[in-house]
Amino acid sequence: FDLAFSIFVITFILSWLLPILAILIKLNSKGPVFFVQLRSGKNNHQFKCYKFRTLKVNKEADIKQVTQNDTRLTKIGRFLRKTNLDELPQFFNVFMGNMSVVGPRPHMLRHTEDYSRILNEYMIRHFVKPGVTGWAQVNGFRGEIKEEEQLRKRIEHDIWYMENWSLWLDIRIVFLTIYVTIRGDKNAY
């Protein structure tokens, strides 16, 4: 599923959309088209996660989570994040085997360290590959973590997904991701 889906997205969507978005990103702000960041993957192995760059180039990118009215966001970046288009390069990660289409969302290394100290269950999510989308994400538990309860709910959803995994659940989550994106997600910023 992961290989077939990633090849489909790369061939039929990214092949024409990537050049358009690359031009828009370059016209909107100085810096690279892609944002590459080390993330925590399966068994807590680090991998380079690819995204379209949505922030002005800054020194806090690896330590500070994006917030709702973040001044680092570019105009095109705000649109890319709201529509989840910034995540599309992660299908290259799926193709390379670092990620799955569906799974717990990968966090930056700093957050893996911080969150694992807050909740013992946090590291359970690293028993599987991280996903471009996930059960927690489609249920509203994405984005900025402001309080422990938000983190707890995200982890509960990630663990529920792992315990109940099926191909049909993955397909359902893909369609829910599309639906939530079209409907709009208040946590997408």
Per-residue pLDDT tens digits of the chain, which is 189 residues long = 999 999 999 999 999 999 999 999 999 999 999 999 999 999 999 999 999 999 999 999 888 989 888 999 999 999 999 999 999 999 999 999 999 999 999 999 999 999 999 999 999 999 999 999 999 999 999 988 889 999 999 999 999 999 999 999 999 999 999 999 999 877 776
Closest listed residue to residue 87, CA positions, set 177, 184, 186: 177
Token reading at 67:
């917030």
Q: How far apart are CA 175 and CA 130, in angstroms?
A: 18
Are the C-beta atoms of residues 124 and 156 closer than 8 Å to each other? no
| Model pTM score | 0.94
Are the C-beta atoms of residues 72 and 55 closer than 8 Å to each other? yes
- How many of the other CB atoms lie within 10 Å of CB of 64? 14
